[in-house]
Structure 1
Amino acid sequence: MKVQQPTRITMVGGGSWATALVKILSENNVIVKWWLRKKSDADHIKTFGHNPSYLSDVQINTRKVKVCTKIREAFKDSDYVVLAIPAAFVADALTGIRPEHFAGKCVVSAIKGIIPETHQLVTDWIGERYNVPAELLSVIAGPCHAEEVALEKYSYLTIASQGAECAETVASLLRCRFVQTTPVDDIYGIEYAAVMKNIVALACGITRGLGYGDNFQAVLVSNAMQEIRRFVDATHVKHRDLSGSAYLGDLLVTAYSPFSRNRTFGTLIGRGYTIQSAQAEMNMIAEGYYAVKSIFEINQKYKVNMPIVDAVYNILYERAAPTNEMNSLKELLT
Structure 2
Amino acid sequence: MFDVGKIAVIGGGSWATAIAKIIVSHTHHIGWYIRRDDRIDDFRRLGHNPAYLTSVRFNIDEINFSSDINRIVEGYDTLVFVTPSPYLKNHLRRLRTRIKDKFIVTAIKGIVPDENLCCSEYFHQVYDVPLENLACIGGPSHAEEVAMERLSYLTVGCSDHDKAKAFTEVLANTFIKTKTSTDVLGIEYASVLKNVYAIAAGICYGLNYGDNFQAVLMSNAVQEMARFLKTIHPIDRNIIDSVYLGDLLVTGYSNFSRNRTFGTMIGKGYSVKSAQIEMEMIAEGYFGTKCMKEINRRLHVNMPILDAVYNILYERISPQIEIKLLTDSFR
Do they fold alike, i.e. is TM over 0.5? Answer: yes
Indicate whether 1:36 and 2:34 are aligned: yes
Q: Aligned residues: percent identity? A: 45
**Please, which moves more after superposition, 34-43 or 314-323?**
34-43
Instruction: State how far apart, in whole Å, the 2-side matches of 1:25 and 1:177 are.
Output: 13
Show the counterpart of 2:95: 97
Show the counterpart of 1:148: 145
Can you give the 5+ residue segments of structure 2 that lack an aligned partner in the other structure?
none
Indicate whether 1:46 and 2:32 are aligned: no
**Please, which moves more after superposition, 260-269 or 171-180?**
171-180
Secondary structure of 2:156 counterpart:
strand
Amino acid paired to 1:87: S
Show the counterpart of 2:330: 333
Indicate whether 1:295 and 2:292 are aligned: yes
Deviation at 1:6, TM superposition (A): 9.4
Deviation at 1:173, TM superposition (A): 1.1
Amino acid paired to 1:74: I
Instruction: State how far apart, in whole Å, the 1-side matches of 2:244 and 2:61 are.
Output: 36
Show the counterpart of 1:69: 67
Q: What is the correspondence of 1:151-166 to structure 2 with a 5 Å cutoff? A: 151-166=148-163
The one of 304, 308, 315 aligned to 2:305:
308
Secondary structure of 1:63 counterpart:
helix
**Please, which moves more after superposition, 69-78 or 258-267?**
69-78
Indicate whether 1:79 and 2:77 are aligned: yes
* Residue correspondences, number: 329
Instruction: State how far apart, in whole Å, the 2-side matches of 1:189 and 1:279 are.
Output: 28
Show the counterpart of 1:59: 57
Indicate whether 1:281 and 2:278 are aligned: yes
Show the counterpart of 1:254: 251
Indicate whether 1:126 and 2:123 are aligned: yes
Contact 1:7 1:30 in 2 (8 A): no
Show the counterpart of 1:138: 135
Instruction: State how far apart, in whole Å, the 2-side matches of 1:257 and 1:178 are.
Output: 19
Amino acid paired to 1:63: D
Secondary structure of 1:171 counterpart:
helix
Show the counterpart of 2:13: 15
Instruction: State how far apart, in whole Å, the 1-side matches of 2:7 and 2:57 are.
Output: 19
Deviation at 1:268, TM superposition (A): 0.5
CA deviations on 1:176-232 (whole Å, 9 max, x unpaired) are: 221111111111111111110000000000000111111000000000000000000
CA deviations on 1:256-275 (whole Å, 9 max, x unpaired) are: 00000000000000011111
CA deviations on 1:148-189 (whole Å, 9 max, x unpaired) are: 011111111000011112211111111122111111111111
Secondary structure of 1:118 counterpart:
coil
> Post-superposition, which runs of at least 4 consecutive aligned residues in structure 1 deviate over 6 A?
none
Instruction: State how far apart, in whole Å, the 2-side matches of 1:47 and 1:312 are.
Output: 43
Instruction: State how far apart, in whole Å, the 1-side matches of 2:173 and 2:73 are.
Output: 24
Show the counterpart of 2:164: 167
Instruction: State how far apart, in whole Å, the 2-side matches of 1:71 and 1:254 are.
Output: 31
Deviation at 1:7, TM superposition (A): 3.8
Show the counterpart of 1:226: 223
Show the counterpart of 2:213: 216
**Please, which moves more after superposition, 121-130 or 24-33?**
24-33
TM-score calculated relative to the size of structure 2: 0.97
Amino acid paired to 1:155: S
Instruction: State how far apart, in whole Å, the 1-side matches of 2:31 and 2:211 are.
Output: 43
Deviation at 1:116, TM superposition (A): 1.1
Instruction: State how far apart, in whole Å, the 1-side matches of 2:273 and 2:22 are.
Output: 33
Instruction: State how far apart, in whole Å, the 2-side matches of 1:191 and 1:265 are.
Output: 21
Contact 2:111 2:117 in 1 (8 A): yes
Secondary structure of 1:92 counterpart:
helix
